[in-house]
Amino acid sequence: MGRVFVAGSINMDVVATATRHPKVGETVAGLEVLYFPGGKGANQAVAASRLGARTTLIGRLGKDSFGAELRAFLAAQGIDLGSVRETAEAHSGTAIITVAAADNTIVVIPGGNALVSTDDVAAAPLAKGDVAVSQFEIPLPTIAAFFARARAAGATTLLNPAPAQAMSGELLALVDILVLNETELGFLAGTELSEADAAARIFDVALRLQAREDQTICVTLGKRGVLALAGREEISVAGRLVQAVDTTGAGDCFVGALAAQLADGVPLRSALAFANAAASISVQRMGAGPSMPTAAEVAAVLGAG
């Protein structure tokens, strides 16, 4: 079984819940303020580890109380934190999140995440069969260096380009599996896509973005499930109808679960169905990191059909 290496962000999520989101310039009364471990990289590592993969996280924390709490939570999930450095130059990453009617808005202040460097990823002992995962909350040159090392070692690279930002053709060419939602796909492909677009159009845009013929592009569509273009093969996984309470981190759950399955040698189609089921569990719980399911919970959902 391969290992999962995640180079990515670690945040404390400061969450305000309310019955509705305020409009610009408006104040609404909230219900609760909650503190959850989050950050796309950390969430993906938590998902992979809870689902049974040997998982290493590479990142940065500040020397502050959020940093200490985040480290304790991540260590309790069984994640190898030997490559998570503490830095005096910045605070721990922090996300200010509003959750109302299961939808969220997020403002991320990167802090130490912006300092994750090419040196930080240089020592990762990547090997054939491993999966190297990253997202866009750490500097892009660091991701490129990480993926170049991973590919040279025979590992699979998995990128979640969120939050969306322009990326070079060189970085895209280093990606084996791209996991993104339809808005991010539209942004990277230079077109507009919405939830309502037909599968044929989404596959068409994915084909245009594909940097190599053997690249896989997975498009997560929330309730509508997942579409994946794997080389020239089109795969579709149906959505699961559940009562969502908080979708924060659902995409990260999908990414971490997919990485764990691929590191375990599971074929892509089954790995996608598993990751889709895992994400459907995470949206039924509040918070990002703590909402990630265990393998037994995902098996129960898959067994129930």
Name the nearest CA neighbour of 122 among 93, 152, 102, 100.
152
Got the DSSP string for 12-56? EEEEEE-SSPPPTT-----SEEEEEEE-HHHHHHHHHHHTT--EE
Which tokens belong to 40? Answer: 């796309």
Scanning 5-13, 126-134, 224-232, 233-241 for contacts with ligand RIB by CB under 6 A, the matching segment is 5-13
Which whole-number Å values give the CA distances from 171 to 43, 119, 174, 286, in the listed order?
A: 23, 18, 5, 34
Q: Does residue number 95 form part of the binding site for ligand RIB (CB under 6 A)?
A: yes
Q: Does residue number 44 form part of the binding site for ligand RIB (CB under 6 A)?
A: no
Q: What character string, x for contact with ligand RIB (CB under 6 A) and - otherwise, covers 197-236?
A: ----------------------------------------
- The answer to whether 83 and 114 are in contact (CB under 8 A) is no
- The answer to whether 246 and 287 are in contact (CB under 8 A) is yes
* Measured distance CA(147)–CA(161) in Å, rounded: 13
Q: Report the residue from 7, 9, 206, 226 that binds ligand RIB according to the rule CB under 6 A.
A: 9
Specify the residue, 137 or 176, whose C-beta has the smaller distance to ligand RIB.
Answer: 137
Q: Report the residue from 4, 13, 66, 282 that binds ligand RIB according to the rule CB under 6 A.
A: 13
**Which of 130, 176, 246, 252 is flagged as catalytic?**
252
Q: How many positions of this chain bind ligand RIB (CB under 6 A)? A: 16
What burial class does residue 227 get, using C-beta atoms within 10 Å of its C-beta: 0-12 exposed, 13-18 middle, 19+ buried?
buried
Specify the residue, 106 or 235, whose C-beta has the smaller distance to ligand RIB.
Answer: 106
Instruction: Give phi and psi for 302, each to the nearest 5.
Output: -65, -35
Q: What character string, x for contact with ligand RIB (CB under 6 A) and - otherwise, covers 131-170?
A: ------x---------------------------------
Question: Least separation, in Å, of the C-beta of 201 and ligand RIB?
Answer: 25
Name the nearest CA neighbour of 182 among 227, 133, 242.
227
Question: Least separation, in Å, of the C-beta of 114 and ligand RIB?
Answer: 13
Q: Does residue number 40 form part of the binding site for ligand RIB (CB under 6 A)?
A: yes
Scanning 36-44, 45-53, 254-262, 292-300 for contacts with ligand RIB by CB under 6 A, the matching segment is 36-44
Residue nearest to ligand RIB (CB): 38
* Measured distance CA(15)–CA(34) in Å, rounded: 5
Q: Give catalytic status of residue 64 as yes or no.
A: no
Q: Does residue number 11 form part of the binding site for ligand RIB (CB under 6 A)?
A: yes
For ligand RIB, the binding residues in 239-278 under the rule CB under 6 A are: 248-249, 251-252
Specify the residue, 55 or 210, whose C-beta has the smaller distance to ligand RIB.
Answer: 55
Which tokens belong to 49? Answer: 């580890």
Specify the residue, 252 or 264, whose C-beta has the smaller distance to ligand RIB.
Answer: 252
CB atoms within 10 A of CB 91: 17
For residue 237, what is the enclosing H or E element? strand 233-237
Tell me whether the omega of the peptide bond preceding residue 161 falls within 30 degrees of 0, making it cis: no
Chain centroid offset of residue 48 CA: 10
Specify the residue, 161 or 249, whose C-beta has the smaller distance to ligand RIB.
Answer: 249
Question: Least separation, in Å, of the C-beta of 250 and ligand RIB?
Answer: 8
Residues that bind ligand RIB (CB under 6 A): 9, 11, 13, 38-40, 43, 95, 106, 108, 137, 248-249, 251-252, 288
Which residues are identified as catalytic?
252
